[in-house]
Structure 1
């Protein structure tokens, strides 16, 4: 990993990636009224076939050192990622704004899919479960932008990240992995 201080112009120290991941490990509530000023929203950017960006809010999860999300394969983000896995994710927490770029991988390992379902059910309050295929999720509801079930699990493998600290002393840092 290489670290680039984006705030040395202001004599601020680089941010510590371990502090960023520790904050993510603590969780970030995405229900209205549960965090941020009102909540924490994750924004996923994928690439349309013409190269233009497609940005949408998602219910992401931080686990095992990566961001995870689910979507139907026929949604625009699902189709985009199956064609071109490059993506970006952004999140504002109470102490920093974070963006990362990487690739999204469709995850079909039944044990991993079951682990994410358990985490979304316990931590995120979304009562999902593994469907009969063992490789996707189902539930009575999901976000309208996720499309109809089954919902497939994706993991984002970060290639780079940047954070801007929003509390004193401040700072901005980029990491390349």
Structure 2
């Protein structure tokens, strides 16, 4: 991992990646009043066919060192990722604002999809694995997810940027 201190001008130390991942491991609830500027919204940016950005809020999970989400393959983000898997994810926590650049790939491993369904169900979304074993279904989802089944995506990070929002401050870029 390459670490670049973006706050050296202010004589601040680089942020520690493990403190970022420890915070993400603790969870980022999306309920109002739970963090960020009132909650933790994860923003996904994909690339439209004309090269412009497509930004949308997603329900994300941080598991095993990666962001995970689900969407229908016919949604704008699903179509964009099928054409070009490059994307960014952004989230604000109390301790830092974070942007992760990487690629999002659909996950079809039945065991992994079942594990994600179980985590989502434990969190209150009554989803389950569909009949193919490779996607999720539920009585409802976010309107932007499209109709079921919903594919599970894992974002593999290429780089990340964090800006501390608490003292002593700092800003760091990591390249993986």
Same fold per superposition (TM over 0.5):
yes
Task: Name 1:152's counterpart in structure 2.
Answer: 151
Q: How does 1:71-90 map to 2 (within 5 A)?
A: 71-90=71-90
Q: SS at the partner of 2:117?
A: helix
Kindly indicate whether the alpha-carbon contact (under 8 Å) linking 2:70 and 2:153 is maintained by their aligned counterparts in 1.
Answer: yes
| Structure 1 alignment gaps of length 5 or more | none
Structure 1 residue 7 corresponds to structure 2 residue 7: yes
Structure 1 residue 49 corresponds to structure 2 residue 49: yes
**In the comparison of the two structures, how many residue pairs are matched?**
176
Q: Structure 1 runs of 4+ off > 3 angstroms?
A: none
Q: SS at the partner of 2:155?
A: strand
Task: Name 2:39's counterpart in structure 1.
Answer: 39
Structure 1 residue 176 corresponds to structure 2 residue 175: yes
2:52, 2:37 → 1: CA distance? 30
| Structure 2 alignment gaps of length 5 or more | none
Task: Name 2:115's counterpart in structure 1.
Answer: 115
Task: Name 1:27's counterpart in structure 2.
Answer: 27
Provide TM-score, normalisation by structure 2.
Answer: 0.98
Give the C-alpha shift of residue 36 in structure 1: 2.2
Task: Name 2:104's counterpart in structure 1.
Answer: 104
